[in-house]
Amino acid sequence: MSKRSILRGLIVASISAVALMAPAGVASASATVTRFTFSETETFADAPPECMPVVKSGVTTATESGSGQVTETDNGSAVHVSGTFVYRTDFSDGSYLTGVAHSHTSIVDSGEHTIFTDVIREPRTIYSADGTAIGTVMIHALVHTTTNNVTGVTTASIDKFFFTCS
């Protein structure tokens, strides 16, 4: 699991914790809406394998930013987040890659069920040491689960990850 996945998981988990505190109950017209933004820059060791002529270790500098909102009602809560992960990975031979991952995440908790969806589209370009583009990558990811909060049983689960190279 990459640091990016861990970071995204921590952000989603902390936002989810706020959303899941809303009690389930009788229908009401009132809602509490909390909007938020976030931004974090980090540098970490990385070895992205997708479409690389040779997999090699490098150093990635990335900034993840985004915004969203938590909506709480008497019947449950919803969290919606849109994020962007902009990065560059530099390799010791001078080659590098750049990418921008766009994600949309939603968590809806009705008390009885929680529905989680995360969709990511991530174009990436690979460059030689002289700055010539030598390849492109398009990464797609989709995660969706529906879980019964009473029984803990996941009744629907989709986890797709694929990429294309050119």
Mean pLDDT score of the chain: 87
pLDDT band at residue 53 using 50, 70 and 90 as cut-offs: confident
Reduced to 3 states, what is the DSSP secondary structure of residue 9?
helix
Q: Looking at the predicted structure, is the pLDDT value of residue 42 above 90?
A: yes
Reduced to 3 states, what is the DSSP secondary structure of residue 138?
strand
* Residue listed under structure tokens 């050119």: 166
Q: Looking at the predicted structure, is the pLDDT value of residue 2 above 60?
A: no
CB proximity list for 136: less than 8 A, separation 6 or greater: 51, 123, 124, 125, 126, 165, 166
Residue-wise pLDDT tens digits, 64-73: 999 999 999 9
Share of the chain above pLDDT 90, in %: 78
Question: Number of structural domains, the chain?
Answer: 1
Q: Which is more confidently placed, 9 or 161?
A: 161
Share of the chain above pLDDT 70, in %: 83
Number of CB atoms found within 10 A of residue 107's CB: 21
**Mean pLDDT along residues 125-149:** 96
**Closest to 136 (Cα-Cα) out of 147, 149, 122:** 122
Give the range of the structural domain holding residue 84, as residue numbers without chain letter. 3-165
Residue-wise pLDDT tens digits, 78-134: 999 999 999 999 999 999 999 999 999 999 999 899 999 999 999 999 999 999 999
Cα separation of 39 and 9, whole Å?
15
**Mean pLDDT along residues 130-151:** 96
Cα separation of 8 and 124, whole Å?
19
pLDDT at position 29, please? 64
